[in-house]
């Protein structure tokens, strides 16, 4: 229990201390006019208060990610606490802050455009495809999951439930941001927080104590901590999906100094939620073996339902159903909205005009069709391919932030160090994982090291180029 409490305190301290360091290095200026005013269109660009923005951002980035992912990560034991704390403070929150603030500085640009601006057109071309794939996979996975539960607790069939969810998705993706998202998402965000805090309080009254820190791998199948834990717990530590969501809120911000509360703050809140559910998973079932059995019998949704109803009674059951249905839906619809925004930006960059609401709707149609088709596939299959894609997107965003800081003569290490770490994660994971090349762990590690060293070599060349450029500029000034 000491480890759990200490971890929560560290996350809170991370917000009050390290977020200010990150903000100072980035450099905010509230005299700059934000896109919510300079690009106002009544659809995506519209001012929203910072507290609403924070709750909307939390709901957009969270969904069931910090709940399901944390429960799966709890199979490794208390070592999961370390990754959630370190990942959230030094990687995830930094990633979210830069994805949001760089979008803010560039008129609400989408993630692929930001990547192209700092990493080049060739990387942008790959990321455009990868980002859209991630958005569609997330939207499909977060349609299938809630639809399955709706069909179980209501008279609706699975297909009818999917149609209901999709009808909402289309409305949320096409209506102005302050009509649906701005009004009901803060409420749902509050429900997410209330649910987590209630579970946390309930844990203190259990006979089984929350386990304290051990570096031992307690996974029943002895799956390696590196790199699987870092991909299993993505939301709640670092998630590339967040960089696709941050521009939605960047287009609604009233001033730059709100960025620390919205982007860094929402990620820390998500880390606390993940920490609570990881602790609940490894405590409620008496250890990782019991948790593994519960996951086999009822899946993550069944585990959430059992913990909630046991600790909170009838209220817990209601919260569990709300969580498993509403939270993924509210992430899926913003994934669809983001894909629509990305397509609009891409078409505009190709020289075509998107000057009417009708054209915006037409651009959304292909994404909706593909997403709907994917909902007919197995949910677990969809989710497997979200993980690695998600962390690659996060890694590229961190490198984008590092290059931005480098080009502006700022302390790039706050982005480049976590970027190197994440490069080693995704480089190793793809060779080892079942959805990857399924190679031996030792061979996967070697390939991961080679990839990481290659990327570090590239970055060192960028550092050298930046220093030479600065030196020549000084020479010109002197002469």
For the segment 103-118, the average pLDDT, to the nearest whole number, is: 94
Q: Is the pLDDT of residue 244 over 70?
A: yes
Q: Is the pLDDT of residue 478 over 70?
A: no
For residue 477, the model assigns a pLDDT of 46
For residue 330, the model assigns a pLDDT of 75
Q: Is residue 421 part of a domain?
A: no
For residue 356, the model assigns a pLDDT of 62
Q: Is residue 288 part of a domain?
A: yes
Instruction: Tell me the per-residue pLDDT of 407-458, one tens digit each, with 9 for 90 and over.
Output: 999 999 999 999 999 999 999 999 999 888 999 999 999 999 999 999 999 9
pTM for this model (two decimals): 0.90
CATH number of residue 305's parent domain: 1.20.1740
For residue 391, the model assigns a pLDDT of 95
For residue 355, the model assigns a pLDDT of 60
Q: Is residue 404 part of a domain?
A: no
Q: Is residue 295 part of a domain?
A: yes
> How far apart, in whole angstroms, are the C-alpha atoms of residue 406 and residue 467?
9
The domain tally of the chain equals 1
Instruction: Tell me the per-residue pLDDT of 143-194, one tens digit each, with 9 for 90 and over.
Output: 776 777 677 777 888 889 888 887 877 777 677 767 777 777 788 778 778 8
Q: Is residue 424 part of a domain?
A: no
Q: Is residue 438 part of a domain?
A: no
For residue 361, the model assigns a pLDDT of 67
Q: Is residue 473 part of a domain?
A: no
Domain of residue 189, residue span: 2-391
Q: Is residue 52 part of a domain?
A: yes
């Amino acid at each position: 229990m000491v480890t759990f409490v200490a971890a929560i305190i560290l996350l809170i301290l991370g917000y009050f201390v390290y977020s200010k360091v990150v903000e100072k290095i980035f450099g905010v200026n509230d005299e700059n006019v934000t896109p919510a005013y300079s690009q106002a269109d009544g659809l995506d660009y519209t001012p929203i208060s910072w507290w609403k923005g924070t709750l909307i951002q939390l709901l957009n980035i969270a969904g069931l990610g910090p709940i399901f992912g944390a429960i799966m990560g709890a199979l490794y034991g208390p070592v999961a606490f370390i990754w959630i704390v370190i990942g959230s403070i030094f990687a995830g929150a930094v990633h979210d802050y830069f994805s949001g603030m760089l979008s803010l500085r560039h008129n609400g640009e989408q993630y692929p455009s930001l990547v192209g601006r700092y990493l080049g057109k060739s990387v942008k071309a790959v990321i455009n495809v990868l980002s859209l794939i991630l958005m569609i996979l997330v939207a499909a996975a977060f349609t299938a999951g809630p639809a399955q539960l709706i069909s179980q607790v209501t008279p609706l069939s699975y297909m009818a439930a999917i149609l209901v969810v999709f009808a909402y998705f289309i409305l949320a993706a096409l209506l102005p941001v302050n009509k649906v998202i701005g009004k009901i998402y803060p409420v749902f965000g509050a429900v997410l927080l209330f649910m987590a805090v209630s579970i946390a309080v309930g844990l203190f009254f259990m006979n089984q104590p929350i386990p304290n820190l051990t570096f031992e791998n307690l996974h029943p199948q002895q799956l390696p901590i590196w790199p699987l834990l870092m991909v299993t717990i993505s939301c709640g530590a670092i998630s590339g999906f967040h960089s696709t969501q941050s521009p939605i809120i960047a287009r609604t911000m009233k001033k730059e100094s709100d960025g620390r509360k919205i982007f860094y703050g929402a990620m820390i809140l998500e880390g606390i939620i993940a920490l609570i559910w990881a602790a609940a998973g490894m405590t409620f079932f008496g250890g990782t073996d019991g948790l593994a059995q519960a996951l086999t019998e009822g899946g993550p949704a069944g585990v959430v339902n059992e913990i909630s109803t046991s600790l909170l009674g009838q209220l817990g059951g209601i919260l569990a159903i709300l969580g498993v249905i509403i939270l993924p839906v509210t992430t899926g619809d913003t994934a669809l909205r983001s894909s629509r925004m990305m397509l609009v930006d891409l078409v505009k960059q190709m020289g075509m005009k998107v000057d009417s609401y009708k054209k915006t709707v037409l651009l959304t149609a292909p994404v909706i069709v593909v997403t709907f088709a994917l909902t007919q596939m197995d949910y677990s299959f969809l989710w497997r391919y979200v993980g690695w894609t998600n962390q690659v997107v996060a890694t590229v965003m961190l490198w984008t932030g590092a290059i931005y800081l480098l080009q502006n003569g700022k302390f790039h290490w706050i982005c480049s160090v976590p970027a190197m770490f994440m490069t080693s994660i995704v480089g190793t994971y793809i060779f080892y994982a079942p959805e990857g090349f399924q190679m031996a762990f030792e061979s996967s590690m070697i390939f991961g090291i080679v990839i990481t060293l290659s990327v570090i070599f590239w970055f060192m060349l960028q550092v050298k180029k930046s220093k030479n450029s600065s030196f020549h500029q000084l020479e010109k000034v002197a002469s």
